[in-house]
A and B are shown apart, each in its own frame.
Chain A
Amino acid sequence: MALSEDALYACYRRMEKPLYNVLYRWLWQPQECQDTIHDAFMRVWEKRARVDATRLDKLVWTTALNLARNRLRWRGLWRFAEPDEGATAADDGPLETTERWQSDQRLRAALATLPRAMRQVLLLSEFGGLGVAEIAEVLGIPTGTVGSRKHQALARLRAQLNEETR
C-alpha cells in the first residue's frame, strides 16, 4: 500500500526529535541536521508508491543515516569548508551558548575516540531512543552485536568523559 501524506507527516512529528538528536551528535550543525531530516523525508516521499507504511520508521532512519554519511564524506572532500565549530543547537543566550559549546566539544571529542560502528549504535540507542532490535534492523546487524557494541561504547564513553572532567 502506498504511503499517504498524513502518514508521512505523522512520522515526521514522531521522529523529528530523535532523528535530530542523533544527527546533531554526528554532524554537529543544527542547520545541516534539519536539512538532512528534510531531505530524508523528501526521498521517502518520492518513493511513496513503493513504501510499506509499516516499515516507514526504519526506512526514514536508514535514509537519514545514509544522507548524513554522504554529508560527512563531502566535508572530507571539501576540507576548506569546515563547519562552524561554534554552531549551537538553538538560539540561546550567550551563557547557554557557551555552556552548550563546551559540552558539545567534550562529547564530540569523546565520541570521536569510539570506532564508527560503536558510535552509531550508541547514538541510536542513547539519542534516537531505539531498542536493540530496532537498531539491529536499521543497521542490518545481529541483535547480539548491537548489545555488545552498546555496552562497550557506553563504558568507553563514560571513561573518556570522566577522564576529561577530572
Chain B
Amino acid sequence: MNDIRADDWRETLDPPAGGLTRLVDAIESSRARSLRLQPRFALIGVGAMAAVVAVFGLALQIQRNSPQHRLRSALEAALSPAAEDAGIRVDNGAAVEIPSANPNVRMYWVAQLPPAAAEPARP
C-alpha cells in the first residue's frame, strides 16, 4: 500500500483571485440600486393612491348622477316632513322637488288627490 500516494487527494487548492472584490462590488451596486429605486417606489405609491382616490370619486359622482339616485332623492324629499321654513306644504297631496339648473329657482311637481279620495263619504 502506497500511503503517500493515497493521501495526495488532501491537497488544498487556492480559489481563483478576485472573489472578495466581486462581492464588494456586488454589495455596493445593490446598495446604489436600492437608493436609486427608493424615490421611484415613493412616486409609484403616491400615483397609485391618487388613482384609487380618483376612481373612488368618479364612481361616487356617477352614482350621484344616476337617474335612480335622483329619483330616490326626490322621493325621499317628498316623503320626509318638510321643515316649516323650507319647501312647500301641500294639503291633500304631495310635492316632489325637481332639480333646477338655477339655484334661485325651485321647482316642484305637485299632485293633489281628488276630493272623493281625500274625504271618503260617510254613511
Contact = CB atoms under 8 A, between A and B. Distances in A.
Given A17-B15, A21-B12, A162 B23 contact: no
Given A103-B11, A126-B10, A127-B12, A34 B19 contact: yes
B15 A20 contact: yes
A165 interface: yes
Given A24-B13, A127-B12, A161-B6, A16 B27 contact: no
A45 B27 contact: yes
Interface of A: 5, 8-9, 12-13, 16-17, 20-21, 24, 30-31, 33-34, 37-38, 41-42, 45, 89-90, 103, 106-107, 110, 126-127, 157-158, 161-162, 165
B14 A17 contact: yes
Given A17-B14, A106-B9, A165-B6, A38 B19 contact: yes
10 contacts: A9-B20, A12-B23, A21-B12, A31-B16, A90-B16, A103-B11, A127-B10, A157-B9, A161-B6, A165-B2
A38 B5 contact: no
A24 B30 CA distance: 28
B13 A158 contact: no
Q: Chain B binding site: helix, strand, loop or mixed by DSSP?
A: helix
User: Chain A's interface: helix, strand, loop or mixed, by majority?
Assistant: helix
A13 B27 contact: no
B19 A12 contact: yes
B20 A162 contact: no
A90 B10 contact: no
Contact of B13 (A9, A42, A89): A89
Given A20-B15, A107-B9, 15 more contacts: A5-B27, A9-B23, A9-B24, A12-B19, A13-B20, A17-B12, A17-B14, A30-B16, A103-B9, A106-B9, A110-B9, A126-B10, A127-B10, A161-B6, A162-B6
Contacts of A126: 10
B72 interface: no
